[in-house]
Structure 1
Amino acid sequence: MTPTTTPDPAAAQPRRRKPGRAVRIANVPWDMYESVLKAFGDKRGIRVTYDRGELEIMVPSFDHDRGDRLLAMFVPILAEELGVPVLPGGSTTLKLKKVMKGIEADDIFWLANAAKLAGVRDLDLTVHPPPDLAIEVDVSRSSMKRLAIYRKLGVPEVWRLKDDTLTFHVLSGKKYQIASHSRSFPLVASADLVTFVKRGREAGDQTPLYRAVRAWARQLAAKLPQ
């Protein structure tokens, strides 16, 4: 009589990857990359990156998302108080087949080019301008050269938060240069903004922080020419 075994239900299930971890796959054709994007659809608890055949799938951690959310909340406040147009794009996929690159930032914003995206439902970088600003939070980030991808896609500015350091990368010619002040918000210094990020990470209720950012932004607005 042949003995029978009972399959382990846990073993039959795919292993769930822990937040903050990334899976990288080589030799992936462009069509397969687009199939992956379609397969995930609106399940945007992940970030998918593509660079000339290299595909990466990442699940952000709680600490990662918290830093991202703080910076993303600051941008509309700054835009409103400093009189800058703003159109949030969330983590919309940015991809361009001719350079074989695609990326999903933690958050993107159209500012100077906000009006050009009015009424747009499906982003096409062969027709529409790239976002003016992308936010990247480096917590257990990948080894992929993300700034190089943004550069090829023509994103003028990237805010990059790593631990308690915030750097503004501004596109100058064909390279990013680290700048003390934002290109999109010339009165905003990275050193000032990261102070609010640190406060937000330690606080529970974020409402007082948003009020503080708004009050600071109004002080900056008072310096603008009338």
Structure 2
Amino acid sequence: MKNYDRLLIYILISFLGFLSCEEQEINLTDTAPYFTMQFINARKLQTLNDSIDNIDDKIITINDSITVLDSLYELNQTDYSVEKESLNNTKSDLNTLKGLFNDTISTVESGDVLISKIVAASLEGTEVTYADSAKSYKLGLNPNADSSKFYVHLNNDVYTIRTKYSRLTAEENRKIKVLAYDFDLLFDSNLDGYDSLSKIQDDSTNLSSNDFKAIIYF
């Protein structure tokens, strides 16, 4: 019986030790650094804004015409109500169209863009997975190199995304993570294909990639 009791105590101590090790285990998943991208169709925005400017010019012309009709009425008391009604109806239609264009601009500016696929150059053309919210894309960096390059397939075009950074391995919340700092996204319109780039970096001290957002205008 004593041997049996000792065996139970040994098993209990071993089990508690196992739990202790489990609590101290380092999680090696989700270790890669990342950055966030957003895509905005600058060419479409320009077309929409040009269309709104054209509508505004037409509305100004209509308002001037209505003012002229009012002046003519003061001079000769001629009834121009039919003409004015027609002009006001046209102006109403133009304002409705302008509202639709403004709604479309809001959608474009939100970055609501559907990417076909993203390919990592370092993985010999392998398509990579990424987290997206339909309006922004979170893309993991290569934790084994000081740079990453991606090819983004969008609207039958391919855009190149080139990044550079320094790396540091650290433990955060029981996870071993590779951190990317001094992060930057390189841009050359001749090499990369898109029109322009805006950078938002919330970490002004370490320039962490995880706090970086790139807005790509294509």
Question: What is the TM-score normalised by the length of structure 2?
Answer: 0.31
Bigger strand fraction: 2
Larger RCO, structure (CA 8 Å, separation 6 or more) = 2
Question: What is the TM-score normalised by the length of structure 1?
Answer: 0.30
Bigger helix fraction: 2
